[in-house]
Amino acid sequence: MQKFDSWTDSDLLKHDIVRRASQGPKLSHEEKLKRDRERSAARRQQEFLPLATHFADTEGTQVCYGQLRWIAERLLTTLPTVDHRMLLSEGVPISTPWGKVCLKVYKEGSQVTGGELWYQLQGPKKTNHIFDVRPFFMQSFAKTAALYGTDDIPTIMEQTRRELASVGLRSYQNRWFRNSSIADFLFHEMKINLSRIPLVEHDLIPTTEAASVACGYLPGPIHEFDMVSAYASAMLEFPQLGDFAQALDDARKNLEGKPSSRILKVTQSVLPGKFLSPKLPTFRPDLGTYIRGTTRSRLIAAMEAAVDNYGTVYRWNTDGFFTNVDISNQLDIGNSLGQWKHTIHDYLLIAQTNVFKTNLKVRDCGYNIDWGAVRENPLVIQTSMPTTDWTTFTEHNAPRVLKFDGGYHNCDRDGYGCRGEYHYKRGAWDQMF
């Protein structure tokens, strides 16, 4: 794959300045729909290509992984005014001396995670696309490369497209830079009509249930309980949506053992977003809040069962929790929608609610974590994280200090009880793992 520092200003301006040709007569609505369908079908047949060294017409879709910002950074230096740079960062198409360009980025917090850049050169109009597919996989490139056994991004994308096609799925409108585009495709394919689903409500506030009441090293056995496709399972009680959720889960199971199975697992986790965004045609906030509320109530009921068994719930988030007691005989354990998955870990090391490690699982949330340092002093952790400056599209490692976000465990105020557990004794932390 080409290196990105070859995207120089001279490369971007290599094309001569030419006036754009006239747009021609306007198309009717039906003609536009037909044209869009033809273009979408043509794009689906295009192969994935590595990123070129400059803006040029290509016969395929260029793909990269988390590096779109490098192109944006070079591109910004060629724009004449601050207003142009602001418009580009807001996703507005910008005319340039060599053609037209539009950048649409996706963020997780303050970080660029990917997106799409399309451009047209002067002369015969041809729209070229660059997809940054990081949001499609929703994990680091190192993890994706290890999962697929290659670091060649076009090869990864071709395999993904082939595996999804084997279970009748693809990215809706060729949006391979968005994981939710898989759900969008199935939603349209099944012709789901949300107007047929009555208004619903849930008594429980649908806020995200995530917290921890412990930090540092906790010796095992640690029992982890996770709902299988929690959000998807909450859709089973609705007409059409239940079929949709089941079809998506069946496809995931049919891909078991293949890399794309994980992609569909991520797709299931983002389903409520389809109903909670006012920018989407599927906007039904009552459904989104009901799905989240139902999931939250099931989570709380299971955690209360652990406390009733004189256990401590150390950490919980959305659809699962860690505890020191085995309550598998009180839950429906299995691999089907709505059931619970039970995993036993040798230890649990918590820095923050969403920054933790076991012998089987690591979650670092993008921080550069020294887990040995976490064990030594879990309350204050010196680390760093890649941070993007959105005025210049540059990225650097910013120093950060992680502090425990749940406070010291206190039996009197802990809603899930300790019953005299010893997990804050220094002796437990001194054990090697």
Q: pLDDT at position 221, please?
A: 96
- 174 has a pLDDT exceeding 70: yes
How crowded is residue 220: how many other Cβ atoms within 10 Å of its Cβ? 14
Q: pLDDT at position 402, please?
A: 83
Residue with tokens 């999804």: 164
Mean pLDDT calculated for residue range 370-398: 78
Instruction: Point out which residues pair with 132 in neighbouring strands.
Output: 64, 115
Of the options 2.60.40, 3.40.50, 1.10.150, 3.90.1600, the CATH number for the domain spanning 210-233+274-429: 3.90.1600
Mean pLDDT calculated for residue range 282-287: 90
Q: pLDDT at position 302, please?
A: 96
The confidence band for 431, taking pLDDT boundaries of 50, 70 and 90, is: very low
Residues 6+ apart with CB under 8 A from 283: 275, 276, 277
Q: pLDDT at position 420, please?
A: 32
Q: pLDDT at position 123, please?
A: 72
- 145 has a pLDDT exceeding 80: yes
133-149 per-residue burial string, b: 16 or more CB within 10 A, e: under 16 = bbbbbbeebeebeebbe
Q: pLDDT at position 204, please?
A: 65
- 208 has a pLDDT exceeding 70: no
Q: pLDDT at position 433, please?
A: 24
For the record, the structure tokens of 244 come out as 């949709």
The confidence band for 201, taking pLDDT boundaries of 50, 70 and 90, is: confident
Q: Which residue has the higher pLDDT, 39 or 426?
A: 39
Interstrand relation of 394-403 and 380-389 (parallel, antiparallel or unpaired): antiparallel
Residue with tokens 């010796």: 219
- 84 has a pLDDT exceeding 90: no
Residues 6+ apart with CB under 8 A from 202: 289, 290, 293, 294, 297
- 326 has a pLDDT exceeding 90: yes
CA distance 206 to 114: 28
Interstrand relation of 61-64 and 94-96 (parallel, antiparallel or unpaired): unpaired
Residues of the chain above pLDDT 90, percent: 40
Write the pLDDT tens digit of every residue in 18-42.
333 334 456 777 777 666 666 665 5
- 8 has a pLDDT exceeding 70: no
Residues of the chain above pLDDT 70, percent: 79
- 348 has a pLDDT exceeding 90: yes
CA distances from 217 to 243, 330, 406 (A): 43, 27, 15
Q: pLDDT at position 14, please?
A: 38
CA distance 336 to 86: 47
Q: Report which secondary-structure segment, H or E, holds 317.
A: strand 313-317
Lowest mean pLDDT segment, chosen from 122-136, 200-214, 233-247, 347-361: 200-214
Whose CA is closest to 19, among 77, 97, 116, 86?
Answer: 97
Q: Report which secondary-structure segment, H or E, holds 297.
A: helix 285-308
Long-range contacts of 413-420 (CB under 8 A, 24+ apart): 414/213, 416/213, 416/303, 416/304, 416/306, 416/307, 416/312, 416/313, 417/307, 417/311, 417/312, 418/213, 418/312, 419/310, 419/311, 419/312
Please say whether the beta carbons of 148 and 159 come within 8 A: yes
CA distance 153 to 145: 8
Q: pLDDT at position 42, please?
A: 54
Provide the whole-model pTM: 0.75
- 323 has a pLDDT exceeding 80: yes
Mean pLDDT calculated for residue range 359-369: 87
- 416 has a pLDDT exceeding 50: no
Q: pLDDT at position 107, please?
A: 64
Q: pLDDT at position 334, please?
A: 94
Q: pLDDT at position 69, please?
A: 76
Q: Report which secondary-structure segment, H or E, holds 33.
A: helix 29-45
- 419 has a pLDDT exceeding 80: no
Q: pLDDT at position 40, please?
A: 61
Q: Which residue has the higher pLDDT, 290 or 105?
A: 290
CA distance 339 to 290: 19
Interstrand relation of 355-357 and 94-96 (parallel, antiparallel or unpaired): unpaired
Write the pLDDT tens digit of every residue in 389-403.
655 556 678 888 888
SS3 assignment, position 385: strand
Complete DSSP assignment for 194-239:
GGGSPP---SS-----EEES--EEEEEEEEEEEETTHHHHTTTTST
Residue with tokens 């047929």: 196
Residues of the chain with CATH 3.90.1600: 210-233+274-429
